[in-house]
Amino acid sequence: MPKSALALLFSMVFAVFSAPAALAKEVLADAAQPKKASAHKSVGAKAKIVASHGGRKRVIADHKRKNTNGAAIHKRKTAHKRALAAPVAEVIPAKPTFGDMAGLNHTHDPLDLKSNVAFVMDQATSEVLFDKNSRVALPMASITKLMTALVVLDSQQDMNEILEVTSQDVDYERNSGSRLRVGAQLSRTDMLHIALMSSENRAASALGRSYPGGLSNFVKRMNEKARMIGMTDTVYVDSTGLSSRNVASARDLAKLVSAAYNYPIVRQYSTDTRYIVEPGGRALQYSTSNGLVKNPEWDIGLQKTGYISEAGRCLVMQAKIEGRPVVMVFLDSKGKQSRLGDAGRVRKWLQTSPSTLSGTHVVAKQS
């Protein structure tokens, strides 16, 4: 057989036997392709399999890069969704006080006071110098504590007796704060001191609760004392002033200030700037609630501040202006410092208004 024919015969036999193997390799290669693709999309075992075939650095690096970019995109989308979903802050208007609801905020006065109610009186002669809605009974807040002090002192109880704060003294209605914990013990005189100077509510509550006959008898005595002083527009229901049902007119409160001024302890305690007590052996320093008593330009003989939402900011004071004893009452003032600002306006007005000092007075008018 010629060599060319023999070579042709061998090539045909080789093709027949090698074709299945080649076809098998091609099928296996096609079957392996999806596995490589899935290895790029997932983390873990499949990625490791691909790495074992020599593509470790490339495959893992590519996967991390894609995963990181995906996470960044996801974070941006999430942040964008959160930004879109974030609620718009709602501006809630201030709750109207009882004075506002009575329309007293429409009263205008020549001094442009920020208090809905103001009353200024010569303490020596009871002459009215300034009048703005003085006959309207409104919540008096912690000015109540002045009457609390008078009833405590009138009772002639032992001022050195130790009183303990109990759960009955905790304000569960308004959840107002206090530095006196349940179980704290102080003398009656210390309780009175911080009630007048710093308006400590639990101290005032303990004073009323420890009265003979309990708080109900104490409140009854508060109202009886008010009638004795001539406070005809006044009602008390507790010893702290936290209740909005403690109401009085500015004219009545001027009478209360004049009566309280006759008690040296009330004058002293209400005008102290700082006082340290030790309930349970640990020292607590209290400060005045009225910054004007620290001002050397003022000569204040007695003061009391008050605040609850229904009453607004309140202030009563006895002070000497140009040597003249004057009683000032400010109720339902707007703004934390506005009652002190109103006191300053009245003081300046009295200092620069000879006609006022000679006897005429100003009455505010409603618009």
**What are the structure tokens assigned to 189, written together?**
């005189």
- Please give the C-alpha separations between residue 340 and each of 1, 284, 304, 336, 337, in angstroms, as whole numbers: 131, 26, 12, 9, 5
Radius of gyration of the chain, Cα coordinates, nearest whole angstrom: 42
Q: Which residues contact residue 266 at a Cβ distance below 8 angstroms, ignoring those fewer than 6 apart? A: 146, 149, 150, 153, 196, 260, 302
Backbone angles phi, psi at 34, to 5 degrees: -60, -35
Among residues 134, 198, 199, 249, the one annotated as catalytic is 199
Judge whether 249 counts as a catalytic residue. no
DSSP-assigned states of every residue in 75-102: HHHHHHHHHHHSPPPP-PPPPPPHHHHT
Give CA–CA dist 199/190, Å, rounded: 12
Q: Which of 105, 134, 189 is nearest to 367 (CA)?
A: 105
Closest CA to 278 of 190, 163, 183: 190
For 15-30, what is the HEC assignment?
A: HHHHHHHHHHHHHHHH
Write down the catalytic residue from 46, 114, 132, 145: 145
145 classed as catalytic: yes
- Residue 142 falls in the annotated catalytic set: yes
Cβ neighbours around 55 below 10 Å, total:
15
Pick the catalytic residue: 115, 134, 142, 239? 142
Q: Any idea which residues carry the catalytic annotation?
A: 142, 145, 199
